[in-house]
Amino acid sequence: MTAEQSRIDDLMKGAVDLHVHSGPSLHPRKLDHIAALREADQAGMAAVLLKDHYYPTMPLATLINQNMGFRTRAIGSIVLNNPLGGLNTSAVDYALKQGARVVWMATAHAQNHMEHEAQKPGFKFPQNSKKTVAPIPLTLTDETGAVRDEVKHILDLIAEADAVVSGGHHHARELLPFYEEAKARGVKRLFLNHPTYVNDCSLQDVAHLVGMGVKMEHSVCMFIPSTFKLFDEDHLRAVIEAAGVDNTFFGTDLGQTGNPNPVEGMRQMIAMLIGLGYSDADIRKMTSTIGAELVGLAA
């Protein structure tokens, strides 16, 4: 074992991955939820969040935590795409009261995401393995740019539960008023996934959102060799600098067929951060501490 491999092994202990796409799913998956937790447990990780675009995962997380004996904790979540009723306050209410820690606004069924798929050839996103009914495009704001009333109600529920919210795959022009509304309604745990991907945030938008208290989660799969690779090391350094190490963390966004497993993806990201000269302390912040604090894991 090389010195760098040993260093990566050490940094993996206590790591937190808040963006794992294991199965079962309508999207082709390389491993299931139990396998994802097993591999994370073997690596000494502290927690893994299970995310599916079309069903809530908190019952599965509870079953895994209560029955599998892993030290690594499974975290449940809900994504507000069409199968959950879109901007469905009842779905959020029930999910939070059954243990969901993270609520995502729409991803695949955000109008912005659907426009990307229709208008941008080569837009990289998994396709369903079975034909489904046509999705209804969802937005956070109305035609005047005001945050929708049902979104406000959802944010109230998230604030009451002290849960976490992400703006999903909506456009930057929707996200700015959305996060302002979230803060005004008392939501304290705010983050945004892959801001420079489908959300179309500029580095200035990233800095602005960070100034509002929004943490930035970047998808490992977009930086390492994978079917989703989009960005180089220069972009990696730029997005970290735009937000600052104290406001940046990494989720693998992995689990798809044909890609590295999430644990291997996190290892590759740690190797990249080492190569860019970040200290162990900073790498731990971006792969462990910030994510753990965001979802309220005990120290």
Per-residue pLDDT tens digits for 125-137: 667 667 878 889 9
C-beta of residue 70 within 8 angstroms of C-beta of residue 36: no
Residue 235: what pLDDT? 98
Residue 29: what pLDDT? 92
Helix (H, G, I), strand (E, B) or coil at 150: helix
Distant-in-sequence, close-in-space partners of 260: CB < 8 Å, separation ≥ 6: 224, 225, 226, 254, 268
Q: At what angle do helices 233-243 and 262-275 cross, to 10 degrees?
A: 80
Residue 247 backbone dihedrals phi, psi, to 5 degrees: -125, 15
**Which DSSP string corresponds to 210-256?**
HHTT-EEEEEGGGTSSSTT----HHHHHHHHHHH-GGGEEEE--B-B
| CA pseudo-torsion sign 255, 222, 71, 101 | negative
- What are the C-alpha distances in Å from 246 to residues 37, 47, 49, 261? 27, 19, 21, 26
Residue 155: what pLDDT? 98
Distant-in-sequence, close-in-space partners of 34: CB < 8 Å, separation ≥ 6: 64, 68
State both tokens at 45.
């990780």
C-beta of residue 54 within 8 angstroms of C-beta of residue 25: yes
Question: Mean pLDDT over residues 237-266, rounded?
Answer: 97
Distant-in-sequence, close-in-space partners of 225: CB < 8 Å, separation ≥ 6: 260, 268
In this structure, the number of other CB atoms found within 10 A of the CB of residue 133 comes to 7
What are 164-176's pLDDT values in tens digits?
A: 999 999 999 999 9
- Tell me which residue of 213, 250, 247 sits closest to 231, measured CA to CA: 250
Residue 131: what pLDDT? 80
* Distance in Å from the first CA to the final CA of the chain: 30
Element (H, E) at 139: none
- What are the C-alpha distances in Å from 18 to residues 26, 89, 210, 270? 20, 23, 18, 15
Question: Mean pLDDT over residues 264-277, rounded?
Answer: 98
pLDDT cut 70: percent of the chain above it: 96
pLDDT band at residue 27 under the 50/70/90 scheme: confident
**Domains, the chain:** 3-123+134-295 (3.20.20.140)
Helix (H, G, I), strand (E, B) or coil at 41: helix
Residue 298: what pLDDT? 67
Distant-in-sequence, close-in-space partners of 135: CB < 8 Å, separation ≥ 6: 81, 82, 108, 109, 114
Helix (H, G, I), strand (E, B) or coil at 129: coil
Tokens 């705010």 belong to 190
User: At residue 8, does pLDDT exceed 80?
Assistant: yes
C-beta of residue 283 within 8 angstroms of C-beta of residue 32: no
What are 191-213's pLDDT values in tens digits?
A: 999 999 999 999 999 999 999 99
pLDDT band at residue 222 under the 50/70/90 scheme: very high
Tell me the Cα Rg of the chain.
Answer: 18
Determine the longest span between alpha carbons in the chain, in angstroms: 59
